Structure 1
Amino acid sequence: MIALLIGAVGGVGLRPVDSALHAFLAMPAATLATEGQDHAEEAHGEGELHLTAEQIEAAGIRLADIGEGRIARQLSAPGTITASADRLARVPARVAGTVTELHRRLGDQVAAGEVLAVVESREMAEAKATYLAAVRAEALARTTAERERRLWERKISAEQDFLKARTEAEEARIRVDLSRAKLSALGLGTAEIEALPSQPTDALRRQEIRAPLAGRVTDRRIDIGTSVSPETEAFVVADLSVLWVELAISASDLAHLREGQAVHLTGGATGQAGEGKVVFVSPMLDSQTRTARAVAELPNPDGRWRPGAFVTAGIATEAQSVALSVPTEALQTVEGRTVVFVRTEGGFIKREVVLGRRDERSAELVSGAQAGEQVATANSFVLKAELGKGEAEHAH
């Protein structure tokens, strides 16, 4: 029996069986023979296969319920996984200076606001000193204005002196605001600016490069001792929990594509599958390829998908409900007819079916089976091979 079954499987050019199927094939011949011995002629004549639950599990056969479903037109497009532009930060040095400390390495996970490196900068020292001087001058001008106000109210000094002192205090406040704005532009946060008056003089030249978002360091372009300018891109930090898939959509398929549609993705380094959704469809066509750019968002909480991998995107469009549907992997061809194997109490029975509309995953079932019945899906070819073996034995 084992030889006949392997021959039947090999005759259709299938790939090598997996471990579960190997276990099924390795069962003693008497196991299957005993199960169906009393019914062999009747069972195979009616397309029945008598298998125990253990044999079904050993063969890796999976079941699916027949019921309502949706048949959709599928668009297929090539794609490339990239980091989400909404979750990618290129971190500049912001000032001219020299890198003196590195706190994070390539590949490290970082939190938002975490220090990545430290730069010693004369520009930063000058900006901080200007701010501190402006703060002290503003405090003195405010005190002077308050004293002149009291003297004027007591008729001790002229109103002109009070107005002049008030104007100088306002100008001093404006200088503080301007110097604060410059520090913010250089990358200092509010808390850091507020803490400057209490810092030692030696700390004025330090500029901390901080992560603007939580993620992983995917690129680092500085080392200790590196001279940097304000435009130097020191780090790249990416949140890879959500990725983008860049798709190229042909002009003929654009009419069927909408933002928000579900996308089924297959491929990647390990051939995995995932689900995403379309978040952008470009209104412009590439003048050379005559394709439009579309972007799908792909959740990646466990990090299975890697930027740079190539994938194939299946986009369901024009979905229609059907009363009965069956997975396409449950369909087999026997003597030129489409059949499914329906689960029975003793195993399975072959049923010829009539199909309607279909897509890559499901087919509309017009006749041949009923709602609520279960059909074999994964490894259903094992049942086809076993059926062929039984019919061959019956013929002899």
Structure 2
Amino acid sequence: MINKISNVNSYKLFGIIAASLLLFLSIRCSDSNTNEDTNKAEVHNESEEHSDEIFMTEETMKELGIEVKEAGSGVIKNYIELTGEIIAEPSRISHVIPRFEGIVKEVFKTVGDKVKKGEVLALIESNESLATYEVQSLIDGTIIEMHMTQGELIGNELHAFVIADLNKVWAIFNIYQKDLGKIKAGQKAIVSIGANDSQETGTISYVSPVVNEKTRTASGRVILNNQSGRWMPGMFVTAKVHVSEKKYPLVIEKTALQTLDDKLVVFIKDEDGGFHPSDVKTGSENDDTIEIISGLKAGDKYVSKNSFILKSEIQKESFGGGHVH
């Protein structure tokens, strides 16, 4: 009887030991799986941290037109933009009037021709003396108007020709009342007809002391050299007038800014040659440059031109695409 009890107790002890061993192994397996999942998560997170970094060779950057500059202090200039038109300088316009009424016998010049002072423009037969006399140019310039044809009767009260010396022209601009206190004679103005290669820096030589009653604007004038002939009377032009400037600790080119995930970013070049976006806070600005308050520091290398290419690469990566190398 004692032996049977002993055998039963042995079986119970064996069962307890086996159950404990299984429980221990189960816990070890669970810990192992947990650690493995943790490691996978760490690897995944590390991959996510670097997913916004773009690597690109110097050759590829050159082909894509990507330029890098060093961030530093700079001056931001403030401008006021004006609109206006080109006119011929009034003192350089000549109105040619026949001396006597008569018949136009011959015309030698027409609109657009360049003439010299004293050059014969036409011949007219006088009605009084029946003698033929010459109509001559009074200045060097270009014929911009002509009001006579061969065989017609022309009086001595009409302008037969209008000649203008266009080597210098005036750019006349409209200045709004709110800007009159900021714009003065002597300030520099960049006059432009839209294209970058068609602009010239001049000086405001005159600001009208009166305001037009209809437009509520005053007039400003910039005298332009026009030997090339690109500034034609009647052209619509704009002018950027430099009115103030201030130096800031950190200024970059405005073309460097991109919007990524609704945030304003600048792409910074890392020491390993990669590029990553950095959220920035901006301050004062003009059309070309902008102050950076945070997100960039002096000495950082940033993408100043064609940074939109890096932005598109990051967006492509987020949709499962690959990076450019």
Q: TM-score normalised to the size of structure 1?
A: 0.58
Which of 58, 80, 85 is 2:85 aligned to? 80
Cα 1:364–1:113 shift into 2, 3 Å: farther
Mapped to 2, the partners of 1:206 and 1:351 lie a distance apart of 80
Rounded Cα–Cα distance in structure 2 between residues aligned with 1:213 and 1:74: 38
**How much has 1:210 moved relative to structure 2?**
1.3
Q: How many residue pairs end up in the alignment?
A: 274
1:316 match: secondary structure:
strand
Q: Is 1:118 the counterpart of 2:123 in the alignment?
A: yes
CA distance 1:311–1:342, change in 2 (3 Å):
farther
Q: Return the match for 1:206 from 129, 133, 136.
A: 133
Distance 1:325 1:310 in 2: 33
Any conservation in 1 of the 2:187–2:241 contact (CA below 8 Å)?
yes
Change (3 A) 1:286 1:63: farther
1:232 aligns with one of 158, 183, 187 = 158
The offset of 1:283, in angstroms, is 0.8
Structure 1 partner of 2:199: 274
- Tell me the equivalent position of 1:335: 261
Aligned to 1:393, what secondary structure does the other structure show? coil
Query: Whole-Å Cα distance in 2 between the matches of residues 78 and 297 of structure 1?
Result: 15
1:365 to 271, 289, 292: 292
In structure 2, do the counterparts of structure 1 residues 88 and 388 end up closer, same or farther at CA, with 3 Å as the change threshold?
farther
- Once the two structures are TM-superposed, the CA of residue 330 in structure 1 deviates from its matched residue by 2.2
The CA distance in 1 between the partners of 2:300 and 2:107, in whole Å, is 63
Q: Distance in 2 between matches of 1:55 and 1:100?
A: 71
Q: Where do residues 276-291 of structure 1 align in structure 2 (5 Å cutoff)? A: 276-277=201-202, 278-291=204-217
1:353–1:369 Cα contact (<8 Å) kept: no
How far apart in 2 are the matches of 1:99 and 1:394?
Answer: 79
Match of 2:280 among 336, 353, 356: 353
Conserved in 2, the CA contact under 8 Å of 1:81 and 1:306?
A: yes
- Runs (4 or more) in structure 1 with deviation over 6 Å come to 41-44
| 8 A Cα contact 1:66 1:324, kept in partner | yes
From 143, 164, 186, the counterpart of 1:260: 186
Supply the AA of the counterpart residue of 2:290: A
C-alpha displacement at 1:111, in angstroms?
3.5
AA aligned to 1:330 is A
Structure 2: which 5+ residue stretches go unaligned?
1-45
Structure 1 residue 255, shift from structure 2 partner: 0.3
Structure 2: distance between partners of 1:390 and 1:282 = 59
Pairwise CA distance, 1:256: 0.4
| CA pair 307-384 structure 1, distance change in 2 beyond 3 A | farther
Structure 1: tracts of 5 or more residues without a match: 1-40, 126-201
Change in CA separation of 1:99 and 1:256 when aligned onto 2, cut-off 3 Å: same
Distance 2:91 2:301 in 1: 47
Q: Report the CA distance between 1:287 and its aligned residue.
A: 1.5
Larger radius of gyration: 2
Secondary structure at the residue paired with 2:209? strand
Cα RMSD of the aligned pairs, angstroms, is: 3.6
> Structure 1 counterpart of 2:174, which letter?
A
Paired with 1:348 and 1:94, the residues of 2 have a C-alpha distance of 78
Give the aligned partner of residue 221 of structure 1. Answer: 147
Which segment drifts farther, 64-73 or 316-325? 64-73
Partner SS state of residue 208, structure 2: strand
Preserved contact between residue 264 and residue 315 of structure 1 (Cα < 8 Å): yes
State the partner residue of 1:393: 320
* Secondary structure in 2 matching 1:357: strand
Aligned residue in 2 for 1:318: 244
Higher strand share: 2
TM-score of the superposition, structure 2-length normalised? 0.68
CA contact (8 A) 2:103 2:127 kept: no
Give the match for residue 17 of structure 2: none
Distance 1:118 1:86 in 2: 26
For the residue of structure 2 that corresponds to 1:106, the secondary structure is coil
Secondary structure class of the residue paired with 2:179: helix
C-alpha change, 1:336 and 1:234, in structure 2 (3 Å) is same
Check 1:86–1:384 CA distance in 2 against 1; reply closer, same or farther (3 A cut).
farther
- d(CA) in 2 for partners of 1:61 and 1:299? 37
Distance 1:236 1:62 in 2: 52
Q: Which moved more, 1:333-342 or 1:288-297?
A: 333-342
Which gives a bigger RCO, structure 1 or 2 (Cα 8 Å, sep 6+)?
1
Once residues 274 and 105 of structure 2 are traced to their aligned partners in structure 1, the CA distance between those partners, rounded to angstroms, is 73
Identity of aligned residues (%): 31
